[in-house]
Structure 1
Amino acid sequence: MAIFNKSSEVEKPQEIDDSKSAAFVQKLLGVGIGGVGPFDGAKKVANAARQRHPDRDSAIDAVVKQHTKLVAAGGFVTGLGGLVTLPVALPSNVAGFYILATRAVAAVAELRGYDTDKPEVRSAVLLTLIGSEASDVLKVAGSPAGGRVASFATSRLSPSVLMLVNKGVGFRLLTKLATSGILRGSTRVVPFLGGVVGAGVDTVMLRKIVKHAKEKLPVV
Protein backbone atom coordinates (compact mmCIF):
# COMPACT_ATOMS: atom_id res chain seq x y z
CA MET A 1 0.00 0.00 0.00
CA ALA A 2 2.08 2.91 -1.28
CA ILE A 3 1.41 6.06 0.71
CA PHE A 4 4.62 8.02 0.25
CA ASN A 5 4.76 8.03 -3.55
CA LYS A 6 3.93 11.25 -5.33
CA SER A 7 2.17 11.82 -8.61
CA SER A 8 1.80 14.86 -10.83
CA GLU A 9 -1.90 14.07 -10.88
CA VAL A 10 -3.51 13.66 -7.50
CA GLU A 11 -7.12 13.09 -6.57
CA LYS A 12 -8.76 15.60 -4.28
CA PRO A 13 -8.84 14.02 -0.80
CA GLN A 14 -12.25 13.10 0.50
CA GLU A 15 -13.35 14.84 3.65
CA ILE A 16 -11.88 13.06 6.65
CA ASP A 17 -13.72 13.65 9.90
CA ASP A 18 -12.89 12.55 13.43
CA SER A 19 -15.22 9.55 13.28
CA LYS A 20 -13.47 8.09 10.22
CA SER A 21 -10.06 8.66 11.76
CA ALA A 22 -11.13 7.10 15.08
CA ALA A 23 -12.71 4.08 13.39
CA PHE A 24 -9.58 3.42 11.34
CA VAL A 25 -7.32 3.71 14.37
CA GLN A 26 -9.54 1.42 16.45
CA LYS A 27 -9.36 -1.22 13.74
CA LEU A 28 -5.56 -1.01 13.71
CA LEU A 29 -5.38 -1.26 17.51
CA GLY A 30 -8.10 -3.84 18.00
CA VAL A 31 -7.22 -6.20 15.18
CA GLY A 32 -3.58 -5.38 14.44
CA ILE A 33 -2.43 -5.50 18.06
CA GLY A 34 -5.18 -7.34 19.89
CA GLY A 35 -6.02 -9.88 17.22
CA VAL A 36 -9.43 -11.31 16.43
CA GLY A 37 -10.63 -14.87 15.78
CA PRO A 38 -7.96 -16.89 13.95
CA PHE A 39 -5.89 -13.73 13.42
CA ASP A 40 -3.36 -13.81 16.28
CA GLY A 41 -2.52 -10.67 18.19
CA ALA A 42 0.95 -9.15 18.41
CA LYS A 43 1.81 -10.77 21.76
CA LYS A 44 1.06 -14.24 20.46
CA VAL A 45 3.06 -13.61 17.29
CA ALA A 46 6.02 -12.35 19.34
CA ASN A 47 5.86 -15.29 21.76
CA ALA A 48 5.75 -17.78 18.89
CA ALA A 49 8.79 -16.16 17.27
CA ARG A 50 10.61 -16.12 20.62
CA GLN A 51 10.00 -19.84 21.12
CA ARG A 52 11.38 -20.69 17.68
CA HIS A 53 14.26 -18.22 17.89
CA PRO A 54 15.67 -17.61 21.40
CA ASP A 55 17.95 -14.91 19.98
CA ARG A 56 16.06 -11.59 19.97
CA ASP A 57 17.31 -10.37 16.60
CA SER A 58 16.57 -13.69 14.94
CA ALA A 59 13.04 -13.62 16.36
CA ILE A 60 12.52 -10.11 15.02
CA ASP A 61 13.83 -11.15 11.60
CA ALA A 62 11.36 -14.05 11.61
CA VAL A 63 8.44 -11.71 12.39
CA VAL A 64 9.45 -9.35 9.59
CA LYS A 65 9.86 -12.20 7.11
CA GLN A 66 6.46 -13.64 8.07
CA HIS A 67 4.64 -10.34 7.56
CA THR A 68 6.53 -9.49 4.39
CA LYS A 69 5.20 -12.68 2.84
CA LEU A 70 1.68 -11.90 4.02
CA VAL A 71 1.56 -8.37 2.61
CA ALA A 72 3.12 -9.53 -0.65
CA ALA A 73 0.43 -12.16 -1.05
CA GLY A 74 -2.28 -9.67 -0.16
CA GLY A 75 -1.02 -7.08 -2.64
CA PHE A 76 -0.73 -9.64 -5.42
CA VAL A 77 -4.18 -11.15 -4.94
CA THR A 78 -5.81 -7.73 -4.77
CA GLY A 79 -4.15 -6.63 -7.98
CA LEU A 80 -5.05 -9.64 -10.10
CA GLY A 81 -8.59 -8.50 -10.77
CA GLY A 82 -7.49 -5.29 -12.45
CA LEU A 83 -10.02 -2.51 -12.77
CA VAL A 84 -12.94 -4.94 -12.66
CA THR A 85 -12.50 -5.71 -8.93
CA LEU A 86 -10.60 -2.57 -7.94
CA PRO A 87 -13.52 -0.73 -6.24
CA VAL A 88 -14.13 -3.71 -3.92
CA ALA A 89 -10.63 -5.11 -3.51
CA LEU A 90 -8.64 -1.95 -2.82
CA PRO A 91 -10.28 -0.97 0.49
CA SER A 92 -9.78 -4.52 1.75
CA ASN A 93 -6.12 -4.46 0.77
CA VAL A 94 -5.56 -1.06 2.36
CA ALA A 95 -7.02 -2.18 5.67
CA GLY A 96 -5.23 -5.52 5.45
CA PHE A 97 -1.86 -3.93 4.81
CA TYR A 98 -2.02 -1.56 7.76
CA ILE A 99 -3.37 -4.21 10.10
CA LEU A 100 -0.43 -6.45 9.18
CA ALA A 101 2.02 -3.55 9.46
CA THR A 102 0.64 -2.65 12.88
CA ARG A 103 0.93 -6.24 14.08
CA ALA A 104 4.48 -6.56 12.74
CA VAL A 105 5.64 -3.40 14.53
CA ALA A 106 3.81 -4.33 17.73
CA ALA A 107 5.40 -7.79 17.72
CA VAL A 108 8.83 -6.23 17.23
CA ALA A 109 8.08 -3.87 20.13
CA GLU A 110 7.13 -6.84 22.33
CA LEU A 111 10.37 -8.60 21.45
CA ARG A 112 12.27 -5.46 22.41
CA GLY A 113 10.72 -5.31 25.85
CA TYR A 114 7.65 -3.09 25.41
CA ASP A 115 4.25 -4.12 26.73
CA THR A 116 1.63 -3.63 24.02
CA ASP A 117 -1.12 -3.85 26.62
CA LYS A 118 -0.13 -0.32 27.66
CA PRO A 119 -1.93 2.46 25.77
CA GLU A 120 1.26 4.52 25.44
CA VAL A 121 3.02 1.64 23.67
CA ARG A 122 0.03 1.05 21.41
CA SER A 123 0.02 4.70 20.38
CA ALA A 124 3.79 4.58 19.85
CA VAL A 125 3.30 1.64 17.49
CA LEU A 126 0.82 3.72 15.50
CA LEU A 127 3.27 6.62 15.36
CA THR A 128 5.85 4.47 13.56
CA LEU A 129 3.40 4.03 10.67
CA ILE A 130 3.65 7.69 9.67
CA GLY A 131 7.43 8.03 9.61
CA SER A 132 8.91 11.48 10.17
CA GLU A 133 5.47 13.00 10.75
CA ALA A 134 5.39 11.36 14.19
CA SER A 135 7.35 14.25 15.71
CA ASP A 136 4.77 16.77 14.50
CA VAL A 137 1.90 14.69 15.89
CA LEU A 138 3.58 14.45 19.29
CA LYS A 139 4.24 18.18 19.42
CA VAL A 140 0.68 19.09 18.42
CA ALA A 141 -0.66 16.70 21.06
CA GLY A 142 1.47 18.39 23.71
CA SER A 143 3.36 15.23 24.61
CA PRO A 144 5.94 15.77 27.39
CA ALA A 145 8.17 13.34 25.48
CA GLY A 146 8.68 15.96 22.79
CA GLY A 147 9.19 14.33 19.40
CA ARG A 148 10.73 11.09 20.66
CA VAL A 149 8.64 7.97 20.07
CA ALA A 150 10.64 5.82 22.52
CA SER A 151 10.21 8.34 25.34
CA PHE A 152 6.51 8.53 24.55
CA ALA A 153 6.19 4.74 24.74
CA THR A 154 7.78 4.58 28.19
CA SER A 155 5.96 7.58 29.68
CA ARG A 156 2.73 7.65 31.63
CA LEU A 157 0.40 9.95 29.72
CA SER A 158 -3.09 11.31 30.11
CA PRO A 159 -5.95 9.85 28.05
CA SER A 160 -6.39 13.22 26.34
CA VAL A 161 -2.82 13.20 24.99
CA LEU A 162 -3.19 9.61 23.79
CA MET A 163 -6.48 10.45 22.09
CA LEU A 164 -4.91 13.40 20.27
CA VAL A 165 -1.98 11.30 19.14
CA ASN A 166 -4.16 8.47 17.85
CA LYS A 167 -6.44 10.94 16.09
CA GLY A 168 -3.44 12.65 14.50
CA VAL A 169 -2.05 9.36 13.22
CA GLY A 170 -5.41 8.29 11.81
CA PHE A 171 -5.93 11.61 10.05
CA ARG A 172 -2.48 11.55 8.44
CA LEU A 173 -2.80 7.96 7.26
CA LEU A 174 -6.22 8.53 5.73
CA THR A 175 -5.06 11.76 4.07
CA LYS A 176 -2.09 9.99 2.49
CA LEU A 177 -4.33 7.18 1.29
CA ALA A 178 -6.80 9.62 -0.21
CA THR A 179 -4.07 11.46 -2.15
CA SER A 180 -2.33 8.33 -3.48
CA GLY A 181 -5.33 6.68 -5.12
CA ILE A 182 -4.51 7.52 -8.74
CA LEU A 183 -0.98 6.16 -8.63
CA ARG A 184 -2.03 3.00 -6.81
CA GLY A 185 -4.98 2.38 -9.10
CA SER A 186 -3.09 3.07 -12.32
CA THR A 187 -0.75 0.12 -11.76
CA ARG A 188 -3.73 -2.22 -11.88
CA VAL A 189 -5.09 -1.34 -15.31
CA VAL A 190 -3.28 -4.42 -16.59
CA PRO A 191 -4.38 -7.17 -14.14
CA PHE A 192 -1.27 -9.37 -13.90
CA LEU A 193 1.17 -6.44 -13.99
CA GLY A 194 -0.92 -4.71 -11.37
CA GLY A 195 -0.66 -7.73 -9.10
CA VAL A 196 3.12 -7.89 -9.40
CA VAL A 197 3.55 -4.16 -8.79
CA GLY A 198 1.10 -4.23 -5.89
CA ALA A 199 2.98 -7.04 -4.18
CA GLY A 200 6.31 -5.28 -4.67
CA VAL A 201 5.10 -1.93 -3.40
CA ASP A 202 3.49 -3.43 -0.31
CA THR A 203 6.66 -5.38 0.48
CA VAL A 204 8.91 -2.34 0.19
CA MET A 205 6.51 -0.22 2.25
CA LEU A 206 6.33 -2.76 5.07
CA ARG A 207 10.10 -3.05 5.24
CA LYS A 208 10.38 0.73 5.40
CA ILE A 209 7.85 0.93 8.24
CA VAL A 210 9.54 -1.84 10.23
CA LYS A 211 12.99 -0.31 9.72
CA HIS A 212 11.69 3.00 11.03
CA ALA A 213 10.05 1.26 13.99
CA LYS A 214 13.28 -0.53 14.90
CA GLU A 215 15.09 2.81 14.90
CA LYS A 216 12.46 4.55 17.04
CA LEU A 217 11.76 1.73 19.49
CA PRO A 218 15.14 0.48 20.83
CA VAL A 219 15.48 -2.32 23.34
CA VAL A 220 14.27 -1.41 26.83
Structure 2
Amino acid sequence: MGLFDLFSAPDHQVTRSALEEADALDGTDDAVTRLVKRLTAVGIDGVGAYPGAAAVAAAALEREQGNVTAAVRRVQRQAGLGAAVGGFVTSLGGFLTMIVAIPANVFEFYVQATRMTAAVAVLRGYDVTDERIRTAILLTLVGSNAADILTNAGVGTGTSAALQIASRGGVPRAALMVIQKAVGFRILRSLGERVFTRLGKLVPLAGGAFGAVIDYAMMRRISHQAHLEFPG
Protein backbone atom coordinates (compact mmCIF):
# COMPACT_ATOMS: atom_id res chain seq x y z
CA MET A 1 0.00 0.00 0.00
CA GLY A 2 1.50 3.33 -1.07
CA LEU A 3 1.09 6.79 0.38
CA PHE A 4 -1.50 7.71 -2.21
CA ASP A 5 -3.68 4.84 -1.05
CA LEU A 6 -4.10 6.68 2.24
CA PHE A 7 -5.74 9.73 0.64
CA SER A 8 -9.20 8.15 0.51
CA ALA A 9 -11.15 9.47 3.50
CA PRO A 10 -14.34 11.46 2.79
CA ASP A 11 -13.67 15.20 2.43
CA HIS A 12 -15.80 16.23 5.40
CA GLN A 13 -13.92 13.88 7.72
CA VAL A 14 -10.51 15.03 6.52
CA THR A 15 -11.42 18.71 6.76
CA ARG A 16 -12.75 18.47 10.31
CA SER A 17 -9.79 16.52 11.70
CA ALA A 18 -7.19 18.55 9.83
CA LEU A 19 -8.57 21.87 11.01
CA GLU A 20 -8.61 20.66 14.60
CA GLU A 21 -5.00 19.59 14.29
CA ALA A 22 -4.05 22.89 12.66
CA ASP A 23 -5.60 24.81 15.55
CA ALA A 24 -3.56 22.76 18.01
CA LEU A 25 -0.34 23.52 16.15
CA ASP A 26 -1.04 27.21 15.55
CA GLY A 27 1.63 29.51 16.91
CA THR A 28 4.09 26.71 17.74
CA ASP A 29 5.47 25.68 14.38
CA ASP A 30 7.00 28.70 12.65
CA ALA A 31 10.31 26.87 12.32
CA VAL A 32 8.53 23.81 10.92
CA THR A 33 6.63 25.88 8.37
CA ARG A 34 9.85 27.55 7.22
CA LEU A 35 11.59 24.18 6.95
CA VAL A 36 8.82 22.66 4.83
CA LYS A 37 8.71 25.68 2.53
CA ARG A 38 12.47 25.60 2.05
CA LEU A 39 12.54 21.87 1.40
CA THR A 40 9.93 22.16 -1.33
CA ALA A 41 11.25 25.43 -2.76
CA VAL A 42 14.87 24.26 -2.94
CA GLY A 43 14.46 20.51 -3.25
CA ILE A 44 11.59 20.42 -5.75
CA ASP A 45 11.71 23.76 -7.56
CA GLY A 46 15.41 24.58 -7.27
CA VAL A 47 16.93 27.94 -6.51
CA GLY A 48 19.72 29.89 -8.19
CA ALA A 49 22.44 27.56 -9.43
CA TYR A 50 20.91 24.64 -7.54
CA PRO A 51 18.75 22.78 -10.11
CA GLY A 52 15.27 21.57 -9.24
CA ALA A 53 13.87 18.09 -9.62
CA ALA A 54 12.65 18.57 -13.19
CA ALA A 55 16.11 19.65 -14.35
CA VAL A 56 17.78 16.75 -12.55
CA ALA A 57 15.30 14.32 -14.08
CA ALA A 58 15.80 15.75 -17.57
CA ALA A 59 19.59 15.58 -17.30
CA ALA A 60 19.49 11.97 -16.10
CA LEU A 61 17.09 11.00 -18.87
CA GLU A 62 19.35 12.58 -21.46
CA ARG A 63 22.42 10.80 -20.10
CA GLU A 64 20.55 7.50 -20.20
CA GLN A 65 19.26 8.10 -23.75
CA GLY A 66 15.60 8.15 -22.77
CA ASN A 67 15.67 5.03 -20.58
CA VAL A 68 13.47 5.97 -17.62
CA THR A 69 14.51 3.05 -15.42
CA ALA A 70 18.19 3.81 -15.91
CA ALA A 71 17.56 7.51 -15.32
CA VAL A 72 15.83 6.76 -12.01
CA ARG A 73 18.80 4.65 -10.93
CA ARG A 74 21.21 7.43 -11.92
CA VAL A 75 19.28 10.00 -9.87
CA GLN A 76 19.27 7.67 -6.86
CA ARG A 77 22.98 6.87 -7.17
CA GLN A 78 23.84 10.56 -7.31
CA ALA A 79 21.73 11.25 -4.22
CA GLY A 80 23.38 8.37 -2.36
CA LEU A 81 26.84 9.67 -3.20
CA GLY A 82 25.89 13.21 -2.18
CA ALA A 83 24.51 11.95 1.14
CA ALA A 84 27.68 9.98 1.85
CA VAL A 85 29.88 12.99 1.13
CA GLY A 86 27.74 15.22 3.35
CA GLY A 87 27.76 12.69 6.19
CA PHE A 88 31.54 12.30 5.95
CA VAL A 89 32.25 16.03 6.02
CA THR A 90 29.79 16.65 8.86
CA SER A 91 31.34 14.04 11.15
CA LEU A 92 34.97 14.50 10.13
CA GLY A 93 35.98 16.98 12.83
CA GLY A 94 34.62 15.14 15.85
CA PHE A 95 32.41 16.53 18.61
CA LEU A 96 33.24 20.25 18.47
CA THR A 97 32.57 20.66 14.77
CA MET A 98 29.65 18.21 14.87
CA ILE A 99 27.56 20.53 17.04
CA VAL A 100 27.79 23.22 14.37
CA ALA A 101 27.79 21.03 11.27
CA ILE A 102 24.90 18.63 11.92
CA PRO A 103 22.06 21.20 11.64
CA ALA A 104 23.36 22.24 8.22
CA ASN A 105 23.85 18.61 7.25
CA VAL A 106 20.28 17.67 8.22
CA PHE A 107 18.89 20.39 5.97
CA GLU A 108 21.28 19.54 3.14
CA PHE A 109 20.48 15.83 3.42
CA TYR A 110 16.73 16.32 3.27
CA VAL A 111 17.00 18.81 0.41
CA GLN A 112 18.87 16.14 -1.54
CA ALA A 113 16.33 13.51 -0.53
CA THR A 114 13.43 15.77 -1.52
CA ARG A 115 15.00 16.50 -4.90
CA MET A 116 15.79 12.84 -5.53
CA THR A 117 12.24 11.75 -4.67
CA ALA A 118 10.70 14.53 -6.75
CA ALA A 119 12.98 13.67 -9.70
CA VAL A 120 11.83 10.05 -9.50
CA ALA A 121 8.23 11.29 -9.50
CA VAL A 122 8.92 13.48 -12.56
CA LEU A 123 10.57 10.63 -14.45
CA ARG A 124 7.56 8.43 -13.78
CA GLY A 125 5.06 10.98 -15.00
CA TYR A 126 3.82 12.71 -11.85
CA ASP A 127 3.11 16.43 -11.69
CA VAL A 128 5.30 17.84 -8.91
CA THR A 129 3.47 21.17 -9.04
CA ASP A 130 0.36 19.41 -7.66
CA GLU A 131 0.17 20.02 -3.91
CA ARG A 132 -0.92 16.41 -3.29
CA ILE A 133 2.16 15.10 -5.08
CA ARG A 134 4.40 17.53 -3.20
CA THR A 135 2.90 16.31 0.07
CA ALA A 136 3.48 12.68 -0.96
CA ILE A 137 7.12 13.56 -1.73
CA LEU A 138 7.55 14.93 1.79
CA LEU A 139 5.87 11.88 3.31
CA THR A 140 8.32 9.64 1.47
CA LEU A 141 11.11 11.21 3.55
CA VAL A 142 9.76 9.74 6.79
CA GLY A 143 9.15 6.20 5.53
CA SER A 144 7.29 4.02 8.01
CA ASN A 145 6.20 7.07 10.03
CA ALA A 146 3.98 8.22 7.15
CA ALA A 147 0.99 6.12 8.24
CA ASP A 148 1.05 7.62 11.75
CA ILE A 149 1.24 11.14 10.33
CA LEU A 150 -1.73 10.56 8.04
CA THR A 151 -3.79 9.00 10.83
CA ASN A 152 -3.09 11.94 13.16
CA ALA A 153 -4.12 14.34 10.39
CA GLY A 154 -7.46 12.54 10.07
CA VAL A 155 -6.73 11.03 6.67
CA GLY A 156 -8.05 7.48 6.45
CA THR A 157 -6.47 4.57 4.65
CA GLY A 158 -7.63 3.06 1.40
CA THR A 159 -6.76 0.26 -0.96
CA SER A 160 -6.50 1.99 -4.35
CA ALA A 161 -3.20 2.03 -6.22
CA ALA A 162 -1.18 5.23 -6.60
CA LEU A 163 -2.08 5.52 -10.28
CA GLN A 164 -5.77 5.95 -9.36
CA ILE A 165 -5.21 9.20 -7.48
CA ALA A 166 -6.15 11.28 -10.51
CA SER A 167 -9.71 9.94 -10.36
CA ARG A 168 -10.25 10.96 -6.73
CA GLY A 169 -11.55 14.18 -5.26
CA GLY A 170 -9.01 16.66 -3.96
CA VAL A 171 -7.72 16.40 -0.42
CA PRO A 172 -8.50 19.66 1.45
CA ARG A 173 -5.57 22.06 1.63
CA ALA A 174 -5.88 22.19 5.42
CA ALA A 175 -5.17 18.45 5.59
CA LEU A 176 -2.18 18.78 3.29
CA MET A 177 -0.77 21.57 5.47
CA VAL A 178 -1.10 19.48 8.63
CA ILE A 179 0.61 16.52 6.96
CA GLN A 180 3.46 18.70 5.69
CA LYS A 181 3.99 20.25 9.12
CA ALA A 182 4.03 16.83 10.76
CA VAL A 183 6.78 15.75 8.37
CA GLY A 184 8.68 18.92 9.28
CA PHE A 185 8.41 18.08 12.99
CA ARG A 186 9.81 14.60 12.35
CA ILE A 187 12.75 16.04 10.44
CA LEU A 188 13.55 18.59 13.15
CA ARG A 189 13.40 15.83 15.74
CA SER A 190 15.92 13.86 13.70
CA LEU A 191 18.44 16.62 14.44
CA GLY A 192 18.73 15.49 18.05
CA GLU A 193 18.70 11.84 17.03
CA ARG A 194 21.68 12.38 14.74
CA VAL A 195 23.73 14.00 17.48
CA PHE A 196 22.93 11.12 19.84
CA THR A 197 23.73 8.49 17.18
CA ARG A 198 27.13 9.98 16.51
CA LEU A 199 28.26 10.66 20.08
CA GLY A 200 30.13 7.39 20.15
CA LYS A 201 32.08 8.23 16.99
CA LEU A 202 34.03 11.30 18.04
CA VAL A 203 37.40 10.32 16.56
CA PRO A 204 37.61 12.64 13.54
CA LEU A 205 38.49 10.23 10.72
CA ALA A 206 36.45 7.32 12.09
CA GLY A 207 33.55 9.69 12.71
CA GLY A 208 33.66 10.84 9.09
CA ALA A 209 33.43 7.28 7.81
CA PHE A 210 30.62 6.50 10.25
CA GLY A 211 28.66 9.58 9.17
CA ALA A 212 29.10 8.68 5.50
CA VAL A 213 27.77 5.17 6.04
CA ILE A 214 24.78 6.32 8.09
CA ASP A 215 23.70 9.02 5.63
CA TYR A 216 24.21 6.75 2.64
CA ALA A 217 22.05 4.06 4.26
CA MET A 218 19.34 6.60 5.06
CA MET A 219 19.30 7.87 1.48
CA ARG A 220 19.07 4.30 0.19
CA ARG A 221 16.01 3.70 2.33
CA ILE A 222 14.35 6.86 1.05
CA SER A 223 15.26 5.88 -2.52
CA HIS A 224 13.55 2.53 -2.02
CA GLN A 225 10.49 4.27 -0.58
CA ALA A 226 10.38 6.64 -3.56
CA HIS A 227 10.49 3.64 -5.90
CA LEU A 228 7.44 2.19 -4.14
CA GLU A 229 5.43 5.39 -3.77
CA PHE A 230 5.85 6.63 -7.33
CA PRO A 231 5.50 3.57 -9.58
CA GLY A 232 5.97 3.90 -13.30
TM-score for both structures, normalised by structure 1 = 0.84
Out of 35, 43, 58, the position equivalent to 1:47 is: 58
Summarize the alignment of residues 50-65 of structure 1 with structure 2, pairs less than 5 Å apart: 50-53=61-64, 54-65=66-77
Out of 206, 209, 219, the position equivalent to 2:219 is: 206
> Which residue is 1:6 aligned to?
none
Number of aligned positions between the proteins: 203
Q: Would the alpha carbon gap of residues 31 and 163 (structure 1) be closer, same or farther in structure 2, given more than 3 Å must change?
A: same
Give CA-to-partner distance per residue, 1:140-182, whole Å, 9 cap, x none. 2233664879379645222111101101111122223334421
Q: Would the alpha carbon gap of residues 56 and 168 (structure 1) be closer, same or farther in structure 2, given more than 3 Å must change?
A: same
- d(CA) in 2 for partners of 1:103 and 1:217? 14
1:112, CA displacement in angstroms? 0.9
Whether 1:108 aligns to 2:120 is yes
Out of 176, 192, 198, the position equivalent to 1:178 is: 192
- d(CA) in 2 for partners of 1:210 and 1:65? 9
Instruction: Name which of structure 1's ranges 171-180 and 77-86 shifts more when overlaid on structure 2.
Output: 171-180
Contact 1:130–1:169 (Cα < 8 Å) also in 2: yes
Whether 1:19 aligns to 2:39 is no
> Which residue is 2:47 aligned to?
36
Segments of 5+ residues of structure 2 without an aligned counterpart are: 1-26
Larger Rg: 2
Segments of 5+ residues of structure 1 without an aligned counterpart are: 1-15
Percent identity of equivalent pairs: 42
Q: CA RMSD in A?
A: 2.2
The amino acid across from 2:137 in the alignment is: V
1:133, CA displacement in angstroms? 1.5
1:51, CA displacement in angstroms? 1.4
Give CA-to-partner distance per residue, 1:78-109, whole Å, 9 cap, x none. 22211231222111111111110111111011
